[in-house]
Amino acid sequence: MSMITTRRSLLAAALLAAFAAPQIPSAAVAAPRPTAATGSTAEVPAPATRAPIGTRTLHLVDASRPDPWKPEAGHRELMVTLWYPSLPSSGPKAPYVSKELAKKFLGSEDAAGVRTHATLNAPAAPKARPLVVLSPGFGMSRLTLTALGEDLASRGYAVAAVDHTYEAPVEFPGGRMEDCLVCGKPGLPVIANRAKDISFVLDRLTAPGSGLRVDRDRIGVAGHSIGGASAVEAARTDRRVKAAVNMDGNFFAEPTASLNRPVLLLGAQRAGDKENRKDWEQTWRHLTGWKRWLDVGQGGHLTFTDGPWLVERFGLPSTVDPKDAPVAFGTLKADRATALTRAYVSAFFDRHLRGVPRPLLERPSAAYPEVAFLK
């Protein structure tokens, strides 16, 4: 696998590294714009509904396999954040990120003051829910999918965001921090390994005693960047996955087998990008089920994550050259980036996990003129 295929990929990779790479100890978040909220008053964009949602964190150990990136560490360990419809609770809201992980991942503790909308350890509502697993980009923390995770939970989904250990900074219970060991090492089977991680998480969340009531017949996976390619691979390798969303993730190789499950390709700036468009074209012809290819021309590689609103509130990390920012964020404002990501991802899962028709997926929408239907 080559993580860098074009100039666009080079610049996107540099911005990902600026957010995630612990090897730059001097990284610091730039001063917020004068109109941006400070860490003490900022919050995750509000979900679609006011329905109560809960959250908790799981530390999972897959005793069936050694860690592929660090065999001497023993069994594969994963950290997972759950969001879910909950019973009303007066408990505290969960922190967005710890000070330690904020400093490691973002170069500053500022984001530790961001408020979320999910109540920590709130009791789950008793009804069985469709499950959506989220996989972040390479070098990216699962926290960057918080806005999407909370929104899906507010719409009635159980959601699990997975950190793929040694592919990004990951904080474990007790404050143990594991860095990205495979960053900058092309040729590793990242996508295949992530598909195994996702299947293991499904094993645990669909088993008795998970604490969630999951509808085993309604499971989807969505991911950003290489997490999106991994979502499609998980649908290919695990029959439990009924639908997959790839948010601007290259596949890096033409698949060897077809996939007849519903797939949404939600990209940015791909219409005029020959190399990145070719990557998706190779996979497109192997998708034999329901499929859509949507493109956000004003967006960037990080449009579908928490990146836009984090930068809008706190500024770019000082290690990022401002002229490279359009590659990662485009010209789309953060509120629009969050709104369209939530709208199209939830519409896709509503249709394919709940059987609810969503016209948003059938034709261009006046509500979201930024989104073009390429296929």
Determine how β-strand 75-85 pairs with β-strand 158-163: antiparallel
In angstroms, the CA 347 to CA 4 distance is 31
Q: What pLDDT is attached to residue 326?
A: 78
Q: Half-sphere exposure of 304 toward its Cβ, with a 13 Å CA cutoff? A: 32
Question: 309 — phi, psi (to 5°)?
Answer: -80, -25
Q: What pLDDT is attached to residue 294?
A: 97
Residue range 158-193, pLDDT digits in tens: 999 999 999 999 999 999 999 999 988 878 899 999
Residue range 205-245, pLDDT digits in tens: 999 888 888 999 999 999 999 999 999 999 999 999 999 99
Q: Which of 147, 97, 138, 85 is nearest to 341 (CA)?
A: 147
Q: What pLDDT is attached to residue 107?
A: 81
Q: What pLDDT is attached to residue 210?
A: 83
Spell out the alpha helix ranges (H) of the chain: 7-20, 99-106, 146-154, 190-205, 226-237, 274-284, 307-314, 325-329, 334-354
Q: Which of 146, 119, 143, 114 is nearest to 40 (CA)?
A: 114
- State the DSSP string of 6-54: SHHHHHHHHHHHHHH-TT-TT--BPPPPTTSPPTTT-BPPPPSS---EE
Average pLDDT for runs of 10 along the chain of length 375: 40 52 28 38 91 96 96 97 95 94 86 94 94 96 97 98 96 94 87 97 92 93 97 97 97 88 95 83 94 95 94 75 79 96 98 96 96 94
Contacts of residue 290, defined as CB under 8 A and 6 or more positions apart, other chains included, come to: 262, 263, 352
Q: What pLDDT is attached to residue 94?
A: 95
Token reading at 220: 């989807």
Q: What pLDDT is attached to residue 339?
A: 97
Q: What pLDDT is attached to residue 108?
A: 83
Longest CA span, the chain:
54
Single pTM value for the model: 0.90
Contacts of residue 239, defined as CB under 8 A and 6 or more positions apart, other chains included, come to: none
